[in-house]
Structure 1
């Protein structure tokens, strides 16, 4: 898991894991855990002397949450406001095109399939030609496109969780060795 070096107001330096932020305001000093909700671990001191103990508690809770909770998803959940139709996220269309070898146009949906750690792949779901296009075929193709997208999101989520848990185990081992 990535860590970053933080120097707090007292001059102490800490290696802080992702998902933990430092909060230093007039009357609040502590570490805020941001994974599966937020929780503040206060230093319980104005001089920062409790920062190391508070960070240890926040890190312990972070490792516990990583082991239990799915990884936060960065996938878009709702269509953007300027999308011109009511299709779900990741599905565009219907796209009408005429191939060079054909006299009739055909219609399909374009589906963006997310892949964790890689660029998304694209799939095309055929609806029909201008001669065979029906509402039923449109609805069936849309259902297939939605199913492809949902399955890809599930695979993405499992991969993200697997990576996050491996990072958590590595951080735990690193902390034991330190």
Structure 2
């Protein structure tokens, strides 16, 4: 799980996990959970102020990670500029000349793999002499199934890793949740006294 140091308006510093954002506006101060929807945790509603609100947001983040699939960067829809109506990750038909005067066609399928480079696979359609609409449809269906299986495996792997990271993070939460720094006003006052 990725963390970042966040210094808030009153000088307190917190170690904050990915999925939680700080919001400091004139009218409100708090933490916004952004994982499987959004939820705001106002500093004023929790004992301990910003620290209490962050602890509540961390608890809810852990619960959501445990029950929701991990977000991925896989594109859910095809690009509007794509020149055909094939699904995401499928290109073609690609025509190749294997021997002189013998051409065949196939689909190219991009298979995502979590934590690794994607792999390209080819789904044969037919040669020029054996091409039919039925063979095209069968090959397209096979390509779609290959892509769906790869996306499901990717999603399972991403979710497993996210949940393992969450368990580790929750076990260490006492060390990671809050680091306090003197508020800026107190620093200035103590510097003036010296």
What's the TM-score bracket when you normalise by the shorter of the two chains? over 0.9
Contiguous gaps of at least 5 residues in structure 1: none
* 1:73 Cα offset (Å): 2.2
Q: How does 1:10-159 map to 2 (within 5 A)?
A: 10-44=10-44, 50-99=49-98, 101-159=99-157
Q: 2 CA distance for matches of 1:32 and 1:3? A: 15
Q: RMSD in angstroms over aligned alpha carbons?
A: 1.3
Give structure 1 regions of 4+ aligned residues with deviation exceeding 2 angstroms. none
Deviation sequence 1:100-143 (CA, Å, 0-9, x none): x4531110000000001111100000000111110000000000
Distance in 1 between the 2:108 and 2:122 partners? 5
Q: String of CA shifts for 1:118-171, please: whole Å, max 9, x gaps.
A: 111000000001111100000000000000000000000000000000010010
- Which residue number corresponds to residue 171 of structure 2? 173
Larger radius of gyration: 2
Secondary structure, counterpart of 1:115 in structure 2: coil
TM-score (norm 1): 0.94
- Please give the secondary structure, in 1, of the residue aligned with 2:52: helix
Give ranges in structure 2 of 5+ residues lacking alignment. 177-194
Q: How far 1:68 sits from its partner (Å)?
A: 0.9
Q: Distance in 1 between matches of 2:22 and 2:76?
A: 29
TM-score when normalising by structure 2: 0.87
Aligned to 2:187: none
